[in-house]
Each structure stands twice: as C-alpha cells, then as structure tokens.
Amino acid sequence: MNWVDYLMAFLVGGLICLIAQILLDCFRLLPVHLVVLFVIVGSFLEILKIYDWLIKIGRAGALVPISSFGHSLTHAALLESEKIGYLGILTGVFDLTAGGIASAILFAFIIALVFKPKG
C-alpha cells in the first residue's frame, strides 16, 4: 500500500462521517436514526453496484462505517439468491454477517456486565 491508498481511505471515510454530521446538525436526527439510514443507504448502494466501487477506491474508509453492514447484508443475500433462489435471500444474510452479529452481541454483553448504567 502506498500513501494514496491511505489518503483515499481517509477521504472516503471522512466524507461518510461528514455526511452523518451534517444530517445530525441540520435535521436534528438521533444517532439511532442515522444508523438505520446508513444501513439502508449501504444496502441501496450495493443494489446499484456503487458500494463495491466505493470499497475499491476507499478500502477501509468504506468498510469501517455502518453503511458497510448494509452492504454486507445485501451482498450476501444477492449472492445466495443467485445460487439457490428466493430462499437464499434469507439464508445468505446470516452466512456472511453471522460473525459480526455474534461479536456485537458478545461485546455488548461484556460491556453491560462491566459498566453500570446511570439512572
């Protein structure tokens, strides 16, 4: 990897974060709204084959934000649906994203044990 790859990752990731910050400031959205919106946008961009291009030029800058989760869900569903039909839409989602979902549940559980909520 050379410095241009790092620069592109910074620019793509920074652009995604800039869009999120503008949405938070201008439309007074809650963070949960942004998470849902970015997952849906990531899925929509995957359907249009734009997110793969974004990953190609931005690498980690496009893979780290939450929009990548929507991309992964849709990508897996589309791949499995090509192989086994409509049932693949349901099963493909769990094949590719099971590790990420299981990790999120495990880390959330550990954090809930360590920290006590206020209020």
**pLDDT number for residue 41:** 95
Do residues 1 and 58 touch, judged by C-beta distance below 8 A?
no
- Mean pLDDT for 15-35 is 92
- Mean pLDDT for 93-101 is 78
- Mean pLDDT for 77-85 is 87
Tell me the pLDDT band of 119, cut-offs 50, 70 and 90. Answer: low
Please tell me the pTM assigned to this model. 0.78
pLDDT in tens, 56-80: 999 999 988 889 888 988 888 888 8
Rg over CA atoms, the chain: 17
Distance CA(38)–CA(31), nearest Å, equals 10
Distance CA(40)–CA(34), nearest Å, equals 10
**pLDDT number for residue 89:** 81
Task: For residue 109, give both structure tokens.
Answer: 């559980």
Q: Is the pLDDT of residue 118 over 80?
A: no
Which residues neighbour 23 within 8 Å (Cβ) at sequence distance 6 or greater? Answer: 29, 34, 37
